[in-house]
Amino acid sequence: MSDDFNMSMRKFLKQVGVTSQQAIEEALRGAETEGKSYAIKAVVTIEELGMTHEVTGKISGRE
């Protein structure tokens, strides 16, 4: 793959990671999360290619 492709991919994934972390932290801020666990799902799509990628997991609440 080309350098341009790799750079655009990394830039997008960095943006997803950073903005997702900020949104999750905002959602948990002020909530009683101690000892709780939350199911989480991220979905990435490229509509023009008919691609959907889903990642699921769990996030532990703050102590």
Q: What is the pTM of this model?
A: 0.79
- Enumerate the domain spans of the chain: 3-60
Interval 3-60: pLDDT, tens: 999 999 999 999 999 999 999 999 988 888 888 999 999 999 999 999 999 999 999 9
Of 33, 49, 8, nearest to 16 by C-alpha is: 8
Torsion-angle region of residue 34: left (phi > 0), alpha (psi -120 to 50) or beta? beta
